[in-house]
Structure formats: C-alpha cells, structure tokens
Amino acid sequence: MVVILSGTLFLISAGKIHTGDKPTHLHAKRLANKENKHALDSAISLLKSGNIVLRSGLGAISQMLAQMNQKDKSYSHCGIVIIENGYPFVYHAIGGEDNPDERLRRDSANRFFSPLNNEGIAAVSYDFDDNVTETLKSIVWQYYKARPKFDMKFDMATDDALYCSEFVYKCLNKATCDTSFISPTHAIGHTFVGIDDLFMNGHARFVCRMKFK
C-alpha cells in the first residue's frame, strides 16, 4: 500500500512500515563516543514531567517522516516525558520493525535518545502550570493502559490508533482544555500534526537541542 501525506510517499507492506534501518558499526561507534554519552546524560538530567522529547533518526524512513513537517524538518519522532521514581520515561507511539506489536510504548529516556539510532535529540517545555502537568500525566497513563496501536493511516479522527505527534497533540490539548493549544497543519487536502507543530508555537521553548557526533 502507498500512503501520500504532505507530498511524502510512504511504502507500507502488510500493515508494516519497513525501515531497513539496521544498526551498523558506524552506529555502534556513535554509541561508544564519550562526547555523545556526555550529551545524552546532560539532556536526560534536564528532563521534567510534561516535557516533549524529539529525535531525528538515522535511517531513510526517519528522513521521510521528517518531511511531514512543513516548517522545520529537523525531527522524525516525539514522545512525552513522565518522571517515575526519579527517572524520566518516555511514552510514545511508534510502529515499524523496532516495535512489532505497534502498541504505545514506555521507554527509558536513555533508550529513546540513544545515539545508536539517532543523530539529534531535543526537549521542549510548555508554559502550563503544575496542575496541567498532573492532568497530562493522568491522560498519558490512560492512553498507555489502553495501549492503542500505531496509526498506519495517519488518521486523526479516532483514538484507537495514534501516530507519534497525534498522540502528543491530543494529550496536550486535553490536558490544557484548549483545542488550539497545539494547532494541526492543513496541507494538500490533509489535516495532520507535524512534529514541528509541537514546538513551533507560542507555548513552547527548547530545553535543549543536541547533535550526536
């Protein structure tokens, strides 16, 4: 099946996104780089509940997903941070070969940000208060309990399947009780949420932006 979204062509076979993005010795070298380890640890130390985390993957599918962004094509995936027992975990909707059951995931920040599969990472905070953050946590946990699948159709009409930026968008707008807190993109006859919609707005500011070497 072929999906065209915002001028980007996605090839989907048997209900799977086939990435072909297998780690190589260059990826392993990136992981072993001490400067990358320091950058990773520094980023993780800055995270707080309610932050949104972004990453730019190394493979071809990540580059294609980044093309959905209309304004800033730096990032290909996103998730929501919740601090649990003193450590940041990331809740995110992801499909493909790295997540065979395609259910909403909960990963450590270390795994989400790993230099093994990413060339750049970032974290974003918003101008809402602690009460909204607590509401956001509850909404994220509700979604995680339901474990929706990754949305292969990139359809925003239902909640039983979600793509990564759609998950973040719906959680933020529900938590703030503001349907325009994050606004979607309308382009080429489609309505969708680009990852850049999550940080290119008046509510967001970058906590950090880093490139791995």
Domain ranges of the chain: 2-18+48-211
Question: So what's the pLDDT on residue 32?
Answer: 84
| Regions of the chain short of the pLDDT cut 50 | 1-20
Question: So what's the pLDDT on residue 25?
Answer: 65
Report H helices in 51-129: 60-66, 109-113
Question: So what's the pLDDT on residue 68?
Answer: 84
Question: So what's the pLDDT on residue 133?
Answer: 98
DSSP 197: G
DSSP 159: S
Domain 2-18+48-211 is in which class? alpha beta
**CB neighbour list of residue 75: distance below 8 Å, 6 or more residues apart:** 54, 55, 56, 66, 69, 120, 122, 195, 196
Question: So what's the pLDDT on residue 26?
Answer: 63
Give yes or no for a contact between 19 and 96, defined as CB atoms under 8 angstroms apart.
yes
Give yes or no for a contact between 16 and 96, defined as CB atoms under 8 angstroms apart.
yes
Question: So what's the pLDDT on residue 11?
Answer: 39
Two tokens, residue 117: 């599969």
Two tokens, residue 85: 């027992």
Two tokens, residue 68: 């959905």
| CA-to-CA dists, residue 127 to 71, 99, 139, 201, angstroms | 22, 32, 18, 11
pTM comes to 0.88
Please name the residue that has the structure tokens 């990139």.
154
Question: So what's the pLDDT on residue 7?
Answer: 41
In the chain, the N- to C-terminal Cα span, in Å, equals 36
